[in-house]
């Protein structure tokens, strides 16, 4: 690759046009000018491949500042990034740029000094059914899934069963699953069969 760049620069110095050479070498004119500028700045050293990694990283801090952040956390383990930042602002000279809370938090996390609270997992247990051991002691009710009718409206079947005998007390087609429609069906059922 360096040989190609060297030939490019030599032919350019011999007086060939930039546009023609760039076309021949299959590079843009911007890249051609960049190769020429690097040669004029650094000589042959400028024609070697350069590392593609960034020259500096956004969150990299001076080692002394990172050490001060870690030391402050070890001194006061219950402090978070915000309090550590306030402490650094008070203690360090004004010329030193104190990093943001988020950067301090990243540093603390990198050093394993951030403790995350354990989340307690709550499992759904449901409600235990009361003992409906005899008939008509406990009724169970449910909508059994809607389906579309021929007139493009939905039907919501409401069912009421006796818990002990599993006897179907009510199965009624409802136009909606809103509670006021169910109340009228329950009232009718209570009048016919009595209260559970």
Q: Convert the pLDDT of each residue in 120-144 to its tens digit.
A: 777 777 677 667 788 888 888 999 8
Q: Based on the domain organization, do 148 and 183 belong to the same domain?
A: yes
Q: Based on the domain organization, do 40 and 70 belong to the same domain?
A: no
Q: Torsion angle of alpha carbons 19, 25, 29, 32, nearest 10°?
A: -110
What is the model's pLDDT at position 129?
65
Task: At 166, give phi and psi (nearest 5°).
Answer: 60, 25
CA distances from 110 to 48, 58, 73, 100, 113 (A): 35, 15, 13, 16, 8
Which structural domain, as residue segments, surrounds residue 100?
A: 63-110
Q: Based on the domain organization, do 42 and 67 belong to the same domain?
A: no
Task: Confirm whether 127 is domain-assigned.
Answer: no
CA distances from 26 to 16, 18, 29, 30 (A): 15, 12, 10, 12
Q: Based on the domain organization, do 76 and 101 belong to the same domain?
A: yes
Instruction: Report the length, in residues, of the chain.
Output: 196
Task: Confirm whether 125 is domain-assigned.
Answer: no
Quote the number of domains for the chain.
3
Spatial distance between the Cα atoms of 25 and 48, rounded to a whole number of angstroms: 17
Q: Based on the domain organization, do 143 and 189 belong to the same domain?
A: yes
Task: Confirm whether 54 is domain-assigned.
Answer: no
Task: Confirm whether 106 is domain-assigned.
Answer: yes
Other CB atoms within 10 Å distance of the CB of residue 91: 11
Spatial distance between the Cα atoms of 167 and 161, rounded to a whole number of angstroms: 5
Task: Confirm whether 92 is domain-assigned.
Answer: yes
Question: Which two structure tokens, joined as six digits, stand for 113?
Answer: 């000094």
Q: Which three-class secondary structure state does DSSP give residue 88? A: helix
Q: Based on the domain organization, do 70 and 98 belong to the same domain?
A: yes
Other CB atoms within 10 Å distance of the CB of residue 99: 19
Q: Based on the domain organization, do 43 and 18 belong to the same domain?
A: yes
Task: Confirm whether 158 is domain-assigned.
Answer: yes
Q: Based on the domain organization, do 37 and 80 belong to the same domain?
A: no
What is the model's pLDDT at position 52?
76
Spatial distance between the Cα atoms of 21 and 89, rounded to a whole number of angstroms: 56
Task: At 101, give phi and psi (nearest 5°).
Answer: -60, -40
Task: Confirm whether 130 is domain-assigned.
Answer: no
Does residue 59 surpass a pLDDT of 60? no
Give the helix/strand (H/E) hosting 113. Answer: none
Tens-place pLDDT, residues 168-188: 999 999 998 888 889 999 999
What is residue 152's DSSP assignment? Answer: S
Task: Confirm whether 175 is domain-assigned.
Answer: yes
**For the domain that residue 85 is a member of, what is the CATH number?**
1.10.10
pLDDT tier, 29 (very low <50, low <70, confident <90, very high otherwise): very high
Q: Based on the domain organization, do 33 and 70 belong to the same domain?
A: no
């Amino acid at each position: 690759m360096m040989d190609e760049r060297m030939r490019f620069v030599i032919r350019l110095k011999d007086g060939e046009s930039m546009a023609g050479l760039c076309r021949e070498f299959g590079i843009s004119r911007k890249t051609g000018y960049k190769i020429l500028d690097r040669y004029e700045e650094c000589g042959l050293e400028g024609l070697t491949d350069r590392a593609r990694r960034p020259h500096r990283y956004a969150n990299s801090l001076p080692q002394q500042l990172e050490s001060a952040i870690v030391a402050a956390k070890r001194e006061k383990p219950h402090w978070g990034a915000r309090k550590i930042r306030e402490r650094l602002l008070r203690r360090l000279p004004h010329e030193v740029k104190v990093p943001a809370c988020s950067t301090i938090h990243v540093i603390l996390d990198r050093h394993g000094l951030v403790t995350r609270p354990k989340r307690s997992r709550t499992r759904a247990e449901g409600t235990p059914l009361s003992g409906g051991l005899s008939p008509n002691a406990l009724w169970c009710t449910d909508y059994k899934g809607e389906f579309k009718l021929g007139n493009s409206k939905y039907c919501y079947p409401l069912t009421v069963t006796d818990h002990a005998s599993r006897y179907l007390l009510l199965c009624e087609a409802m136009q909606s699953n809103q509670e006021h429609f169910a109340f009228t069906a329950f009232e009718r059922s209570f009048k016919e069969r009595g209260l559970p």
